[in-house]
Amino acid sequence: MRVLGRCFAITGLAYMPPWSVNAGFVAGDGTTLVIDTGATALSATSIYGYATAVKPENRIAVFNTEKHFDHIGGNGFFRDRGAEIHGHPLIARTEEEFGQERSEFNAAILSRSRRELREENAFCDGTTLKNPDRPAKDGDRFDLGGCAVEVISTPGHTPTNLSAWVREDRVLFCGDCLVNRYVANLDCGGTKDWVEWLSSVERIERLEPRAIVPGHGPVALEDEVPRLIETVREEIQRALSVGATRTSV
């Protein structure tokens, strides 16, 4: 879907129940920046198809918002096509971790027969682990031709979370710093991380975005933006007040 201006979102890409995951892209006059690559090469194929359909002549670059495999699993597909992949320098996942992710996906399959047949191999067909090859940090800018994308540090969900801000259109791609209609996943960290996360949410609020493409769930437009921000803030504050996440009990 076109969000606003040059910004597009690809929502509902497959992942483990109950999660689906989002990606997006910003189409400049010379470069299209793809933001996250989905969980698998199959998701990356769809993202690539949409991105190249909008601007077939453009060079493709990739930006990862964080380290979790549902956001970087399609990197190998893009690397095979010559795309530079930008992301936090601490994104350095291992083949062992990737194997554990695949096993967890297989364990989530309800049918015993399907688990025994390792049907996650179909879900992960063609997927190879590729970490970012270009470090990205707060304040970096991608000049796409006719527009720019700014990198904003938004840690909390993980220390590697970055957001992509398109000031011209006032659209934010924030990965899992914000999720819509899901309970924010605070289980990856502890109190220190949650305090940082609150600061990240407040930084996003100060930007006054017109639209937010969250890591999971529907895109928030205009009047939905304050509600989305407040819902995640309240979830973090709740965890800080009781010392535990809603999903850990």
Distance (Å, whole) CA 83 – CA 104:
29
CATH number of the domain that 143 lies in? 3.60.15.10
Tell whether the model's pLDDT for residue 33 goes beyond 90: yes
- The answer to whether 159 and 194 have CB atoms below 8 angstroms apart is no
Domain that holds residue 205: 2-248
Residue 36: band (very low, low, confident or very high) from pLDDT cuts 50, 70, 90: very high
Q: Which two tokens stand for residue 141?
A: 């800018």
Confidence at residue 249, expressed as pLDDT on a 0 to 100 scale: 66
Confidence at residue 82, expressed as pLDDT on a 0 to 100 scale: 97
Tell whether the model's pLDDT for residue 17 goes beyond 80: yes
In this prediction, residues 225-241 reach a mean pLDDT of 97
Q: Which two tokens stand for residue 171?
A: 């659209």
User: What number of other Cβ atoms are within 10 A of residue 115's Cβ?
Assistant: 14
Half-sphere exposure in the Cβ direction for 104 (13 Å, CA): 11
Distance (Å, whole) CA 52 – CA 187:
36
Produce one character per residue of 161-183: b if its CB has 16 or more CB atoms within 10 Å, e if not: bbbbbbeebbbbbbbbbbbbebe
Residue 180: band (very low, low, confident or very high) from pLDDT cuts 50, 70, 90: very high
Closest CA to 48 of 19, 83, 16: 83
Q: What is the pLDDT of residues 45-84, one digit of tens each?
A: 999 999 999 999 999 999 999 999 999 999 999 999 999 9
In this prediction, residues 149-164 reach a mean pLDDT of 98
Q: What is the pLDDT of residues 189-224, one digit of tens each?
A: 999 999 999 999 999 999 999 999 999 999 999 999
Q: Is residue 17 packed enough to be buried (19+ CB in 10 Å), middle (13-18) or exposed (0-12)?
A: exposed
Identity of the amino acid at 196:
E
Q: What is the pLDDT of residues 90-137, one digit of tens each?
A: 999 999 999 999 999 999 999 999 999 999 999 999 999 999 999 999
Report the number of distinct structural domains present in the chain.
1
Q: What is the pLDDT of residues 121-133, one digit of tens each?
A: 999 999 999 999 9
In this prediction, residues 144-160 reach a mean pLDDT of 97
Distance (Å, whole) CA 212 – CA 165:
9
Confidence at residue 248, expressed as pLDDT on a 0 to 100 scale: 82
